[in-house]
């Protein structure tokens, strides 16, 4: 061993001595030396890493990569443990002096233990898993040169399993059994530490009125602590958010011994509490703080106490808030000047929108609009604005149109006409416009008449233009004479107009005998006269042809 050691050191020295750039070129001799050196180093470090699977660096027939991996295998855990230790020493510099490199001796155990016990939770998470897995059973396989580490790690295991995993607490009695029995003092410190933790936890969860805290407290188990916690739970359940000293008392009665053990005389306690409350109610923060500080200093604050403290502090806060002016959101009408800058941006404001929100333009919306447009175009329904017809306020002036065509009359004739018009105004021939006017007036008269007739009761009869026209005796309906319904002209002609004849007419049945006879006689006479006439005609006609012949 010594030889190999020496050889290794020799190799190291040689390596250091070599010319640096020679490393750049592959050199078998140099590689041999470096391998030997690395083996030496590996062996030197081997005692410090108990977990390493390799006892010796294997270099014969191994690749550079493989050798590197072996070294890595050893160095990783070693580095992390070294780091951890350095951290610890950084926190507790005084321990460096205590550090003694001693082979396996029990003397140092105690001290190390003490140190380790008071550690906080700031270890590597990675390490935890390893250690917890191994921790309880894995002590045998340790081959440590440095006693401290082993002991420290053992206590670490204890510490972490106890302090951190709150769930596992119940089981864990093994590793720490011997310690608890021997060192009562340690338990006390442990208790203190646990309480501190609890307080922190409770303060963090003030709002949830300690129930969760109760749960947590439940979980935090140590045999000694359990009693305390149970007590606290009972107290809480009895109190029910009141400063119920009676409740406290009741709880105290239940487990008198424990309560007295820890907190001493109840009477004193209650007095203390009252005093404290009085001072709190006065509302001086400083006094409260002092009291709190005193309480803490006394170090025996029950859960109830703590709750009361919490409640008191809350009350103070609320009273203080009530005295101060409210936040701007609670102030009713607030202008921009009265609130801090940009504060409205952070608040969810709710206000009425007087305008319809802008429509979100999606494809469907545009498609619907386009469809409507197409439909309108096909229909021709454009909703064009039609100008409202302006009522003519005055008679439109006659606009004389310019005549583009060659005038048919000669100039002489035009002047002639002018002269004639001047002389005799009436002889002026109707101008083009006048003719149109006349036609229009005639048409309008006709139309006017019809419209008047339609409005029956304001019937204005046609103005009588005296002209002779033959009236046919035809019933009114046939003529379509538009006369009011009230007036019915059964026939156009009046009876006397219809009547032809003279005098009084009698019916056949009305006649007397003489009259009848007279009628018959008249008829006969007429008939005879007519017959004579006919005869005369015939004779004449007869005579002519005779003459003709003759």
Partner 1 sequence: MVLSSMEVEAAPSKAKPLPPKPMFEPLKPYEMSDGQFRKVSVPQHRYNPLKKALLDIYTPIYEQMKIDIRMNLKARKVELKMRPDTPDISNLQKCADFVHAFMIGFDVLDAIALLHLDELYVESFEIKDVKTLRGDHLSRAIGRLSGKGGKTKFAIENATKTRIVIADTKIHILESFANIKIVRDSLCRLIMGSPVGKVYSKLRAVTARLA
- Selection from 465, 467, 470 nearest residue 492 by Cα: 470
CB neighbours of 361 closer than 8 A, spacing ≥ 6?
Answer: none
Q: Measured from the CB of residue 404, what is the shortest distance to partner 1 in angstroms?
A: 4
The token pair at 230 is 């149970």
Nearer to partner 1, 257 or 412 (CB): 412
Nearer to partner 1, 357 or 410 (CB): 410
How many residues bind to partner 1 according to rule CB under 8 A?
Answer: 18
Q: CB of 11 within 8 A of CB of 36?
A: yes
Collapsing DSSP states into helix, strand and coil, what is residue 220?
coil
Site string for partner 1, 394-433 (x = CB under 8 A): ---x-xx-xxxxxx-xxxxxxxx-x---------------
Q: Measured from the CB of residue 420, what is the shortest distance to partner 1 in angstroms?
A: 12
Q: Measured from the CB of residue 395, what is the shortest distance to partner 1 in angstroms?
A: 15
Note whether 381 binds partner 1 by CB under 8 A. Answer: no
Nearer to partner 1, 370 or 416 (CB): 416
Nearer to partner 1, 314 or 437 (CB): 437
Query: Inter-axis angle of helices 266-282 and 256-263, to 10 degrees?
Result: 60
Nearer to partner 1, 223 or 434 (CB): 434
CA 46 remoteness from chain centre: 64
Q: Measured from the CB of residue 411, what is the shortest distance to partner 1 in angstroms?
A: 4
Nearer to partner 1, 410 or 550 (CB): 410
Q: CB of 37 within 8 A of CB of 12?
A: yes
Q: Measured from the CB of residue 472, what is the shortest distance to partner 1 in angstroms?
A: 50
Q: Measured from the CB of residue 402, what is the shortest distance to partner 1 in angstroms?
A: 5
- Selection from 260, 263, 236, 233 nearest residue 247 by Cα: 236
In angstroms, the CA 41 to CA 5 distance is: 9
Q: Measured from the CB of residue 432, what is the shortest distance to partner 1 in angstroms?
A: 13
Nearer to partner 1, 282 or 403 (CB): 403
Q: Measured from the CB of residue 433, what is the shortest distance to partner 1 in angstroms?
A: 11
Question: What values do phi and psi take at 92, rounded to 5?
Answer: -120, 80
CA 359 remoteness from chain centre: 16
| Interactions with partner 1, residue window 501-520 (CB under 8 A) | none
Nearer to partner 1, 395 or 487 (CB): 395
Q: CB of 189 within 8 A of CB of 118?
A: yes
In angstroms, the CA 1 to CA 154 distance is: 32
Q: What is the largest CA-CA distance in the chain?
A: 205
CA 521 remoteness from chain centre: 123
Ramachandran class of 383: left when φ > 0, alpha when ψ lies in -120 to 50, beta otherwise: left
Q: What angle do CA 375, 376, 382 make, to 5 degrees?
A: 175
Stretch near partner 1 under the rule CB under 8 A, chosen from 126-134, 157-165, 327-335, 393-401: 393-401
Beta-ladder partners of 475: 491
Q: Measured from the CB of residue 379, what is the shortest distance to partner 1 in angstroms?
A: 39
Nearer to partner 1, 406 or 513 (CB): 406
What does the binding site for partner 1 look like in residue numbers (CB under 8 A)? 397, 399-400, 402-407, 409-416, 418
């Amino acid at each position: 061993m010594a030889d190999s050691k020496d050889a290794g050191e020799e190799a190291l020295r040689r390596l250091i001595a070599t010319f640096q750039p020679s490393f750049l070129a592959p050199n078998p001799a140099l590689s041999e030396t470096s391998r030997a050196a690395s083996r030496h180093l590996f062996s030197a470090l081997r005692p410090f890493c108990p977990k390493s699977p390799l006892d010796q660096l294997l270099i014969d027939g191994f690749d550079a990569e493989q050798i590197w991996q072996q070294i890595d295998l050893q160095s990783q855990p070693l580095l992390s443990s070294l780091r951890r230790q350095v951290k610890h020493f950084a926190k507790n510099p005084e321990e460096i002096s205590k550090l003694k490199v001693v082979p396996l001796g029990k003397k140092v155990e105690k001290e190390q233990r003490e140190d380790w016990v008071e550690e906080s939770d700031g270890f590597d998470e990675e390490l935890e898993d390893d250690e917890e897995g191994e921790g309880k059973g894995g002590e045998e396989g340790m081959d440590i040169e440095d006693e401290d580490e082993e002991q420290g790690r053992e206590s670490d295991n204890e510490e972490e399993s106890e302090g951190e995993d709150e769930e596992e607490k119940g089981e864990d009695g093994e590793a720490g059994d011997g310690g608890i029995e021997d060192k009562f003092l340690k338990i006390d410190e442990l208790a203190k530490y646990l309480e501190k933790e609890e307080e922190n936890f409770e303060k963090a969860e003030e709002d949830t009125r300690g129930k969760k805290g109760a749960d947590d407290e439940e979980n935090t188990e140590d045999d000694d602590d359990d009693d305390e916690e149970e007590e606290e739970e009972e107290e809480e359940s009895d109190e029910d958010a009141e400063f119920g000293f009676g409740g406290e008392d009741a709880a105290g009665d239940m487990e008198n011994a424990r309560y007295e053990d820890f907190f001493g005389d109840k009477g004193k306690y209650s007095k203390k509490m009252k005093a404290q409350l009085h001072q709190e109610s006065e509302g001086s923060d400083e006094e409260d703080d002092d009291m709190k500080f005193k309480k803490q200093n006394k170090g025996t604050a029950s859960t109830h106490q703590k709750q009361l403290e919490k409640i008191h502090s809350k009350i103070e806060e609320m009273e203080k808030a009530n005295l101060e002016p409210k936040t701007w959101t609670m102030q009713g009408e607030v202008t921009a000047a009265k609130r801090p800058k940009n504060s409205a941006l952070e608040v969810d404001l709710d206000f009425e929108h007087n305008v319809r929100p802008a429509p979100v333009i999606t494809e469907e919306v545009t498609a619907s609009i386009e469809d409507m447009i197409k439909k309108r175009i096909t229909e021709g329904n454009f909703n064009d604005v039609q100008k409202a017809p302006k009522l003519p306020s005055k008679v439109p002036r006659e606009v004389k149109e310019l005549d583009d065509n060659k005038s048919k009359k000669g100039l002489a004739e035009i002047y002639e006409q002018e002269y004639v018009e001047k002389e005799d105004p009436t002889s002026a021939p109707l101008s083009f416009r006048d003719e149109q006017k006349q036609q229009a007036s005639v048409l309008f008269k006709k139309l006017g008449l019809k419209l008047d007739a339609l409005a029956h009761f304001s019937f204005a009869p046609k103005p009588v233009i005296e002209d002779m026209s033959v009236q046919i005796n035809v019933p009114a309906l046939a003529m379509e004479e538009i006369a009011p319904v009230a007036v019915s002209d059964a026939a156009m002609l009046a009876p006397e107009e219809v009547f032809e004849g003279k005098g009084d007419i009698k019916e056949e049945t009305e006649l007397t005998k003489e009259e009848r006879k007279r009628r018959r006689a008249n008829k006969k006479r007429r008939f005879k006269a007519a017959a004579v006439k006919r005869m005369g005609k015939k004779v004449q006609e007869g005579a002519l042809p005779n003459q003709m012949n003759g």
